[in-house]
Structure 1
């Protein structure tokens, strides 16, 4: 909503995926990670998107 108010453009589908994976790094599978949970979540989202054929530029 803030982005819309400020006139930012975004891909609603990618925003949804980002929101889904935001806290993913807090799950049990990442319990041994030494990275911040946000980084683990972002990495998981990237792998998910790559696995579904979404280009890096998108």
Structure 2
């Protein structure tokens, strides 16, 4: 059975908030000497997420 996936679309500000929040959570877990594996994976996945390239309008569409 295939796992369900979710796709988020974030602007640059939201992306920064997400990375910062995950990093703060990770730091808190480290301070409490708790495992960070799940947060580490999610943080890396977020950092490595590809950007969606803007579609260029063709010359005919511009008219």
Q: Give the TM-score category using the shorter length.
A: 0.3 to 0.5
Name the structure with the higher helix share: 1
Answer with 1 or 2: which has the greater Rg.
2
* TM-score (normalised: structure 1): 0.35
